[in-house]
Amino acid sequence: MANAVQSYLFTSESVTEGHPDKICDQISDAILDAILSKETELATSGYIAPNGHPADPAQVRCACETMATTGMIMVTGEIRTQAYVDVPGIVRDVIREIGYDRAKFGFDCETCGVINAIHEQSPDIAMGVDESWEAQRGEGADDPYERIGAGDQGMMFGYACNETSTLMPMPIYLAHRMAEQLTAVRKSGEMPYLRPDGKTQVSVRYVDGKPVSVEKVIVSTQHAEDVEHERLANEVIQNVVKPVLAREGVALADGAQIHVNPTGRFVIGGPMGDAGLTGRKIIVDTYGGMGRHGGGAFSGKDCTKVDRSAAYAARWVAKNVVAAGLADRCEVQVAYAIGMARPVSIMVETFGTNHVPEADIEAAVAKVFDLRPGAIIDALDLRRPIYRKTAAYGHFGRELPEFTWERTDKADELRAACNLA
């Protein structure tokens, strides 16, 4: 008897840059970028701080958290730097660039209150990162990567699959592209009555594990009070949903449903409609629920925080495994202990889609990739001010020059390690 066809829907969502949580993510990452830029500038000039410490971007430590509510932004967290940055100015610039620059939009970059409650990083945490557990015991004296410990314990996941050109799951990839398009038509003036806050959601039909069509799309977008719902819905479908699907070569299923602002009205949005917080969109930021998540958020954290850097590295590993043709789907888990350089575990899962023995893939990954925090930072060049770009529309699946973890530069080495031509 032949196996029954397995058919199911999988749904992922994205949010626009004007969503309250994403405003907070962008502010936190803009502050991190400003600190890295200024610290690098000071280091180049040979600056020595009054405390006797030279400026050095490698010594920056940042865990910046932002909260947004009606008329107010609060920035807090733990930061170590020799640089001064204008936190209120950065906050207002980010909000202005997003598009909240008029009181009638519900939030105004010029008049909102900004509270700066940032303080120094705990010396207990700094101790284990500046000098790892291994280094304190005299191990690896000649290996610089043994000297940097992980900034926290925890496990991080990376995922890749061959469903899209960027090796991302199709539902989250399409949701991100629609969210980007929603912002593009607002900022271009093509749909001038749109406001910055919005969400997209895409449901994809899978048959035997392969995506075949889009069956449901939901777009919720903030808008001016006087726009008619029928006009809004028609123009979102014509200017956002259909162009993205056409560009990506994805078909709508027969009888597909597209819902635009299902409540009929979305005038009050942004921080006036809902409080925002850094790190509250971790599934939007990663794989839309298709791959697992270790729980740690990314934005506002410098590269010694393995919540961020190791998750980027795990994506890099998984993407190269799929790009090398070793598997159709790949999930990588890596785990760390605070203050220790070497991962406590590395796992590769291919969900039965592997084309060579899974043990061979794991051995190849161990041979090709060095997943100690210091090695990750150098390999992916993570001490640059690149992070604001990551804070909206996904940290993965966007092949931009800054997103070094999206490279497939290790695919040939992996194939060679698995004895493939």
Query: Where in the sequence numbering do the catalytic residues fall?
Result: 19, 21-22, 65, 78, 199, 266, 274-275, 280-281, 301, 305, 307
- Rounded to an integer, what distance in angstroms lies between the CA atom of residue 233 and that of residue 244? 16
Q: Which residues contact 97 (CB under 8 A, 6 or more apart)?
A: none
Q: Which of 322, 329, 335 is nearest to 295 (CA)?
A: 335
H, E, C per residue of the chain: CCCCCCEEEEEEEEECCCCHHHHHHHHHHHHHHHHHHHHHHHHHHCCECCCCCECCHHHCEEEEEEEEECCEEEEEEEEECCCCCCHHHHHHHHHHHHCCEEHHHCEECCCCEEEEEEECCCHHHHHHHHCCHHHHCCCCCCCHHHCCCECCCEEEEEEEECCCCCCCCHHHHHHHHHHHHHHHHHHCCCCCCEEEEEEEEEEEEEECCEEEEEEEEEEEEEECCCCCHHHHHHHHHHHHHHHHHHHHCCCEEEEEEEEECCCCCCCCCHHHHCCEECCCCHHHHCCCCCCCCCCCCCCCECCCCHHHHHHHHHHHHHHHHHHCCCECEEEEEEEECECCCCCCEEEEECCCCECCCHHHHHHHHHHHCCCCHHHHHHHHCCCCCCCHHHHCCCCCCCCCCCCHHHCCCCHHHHHHHCCCC
The residue type found at 95 is I
CB atoms near residue 96 (< 10 Å): 13
Q: Which of 291, 312, 299 is nearest to 373 (CA)?
A: 312
Residues 240, 185 contacting (CB under 8 angstroms): yes
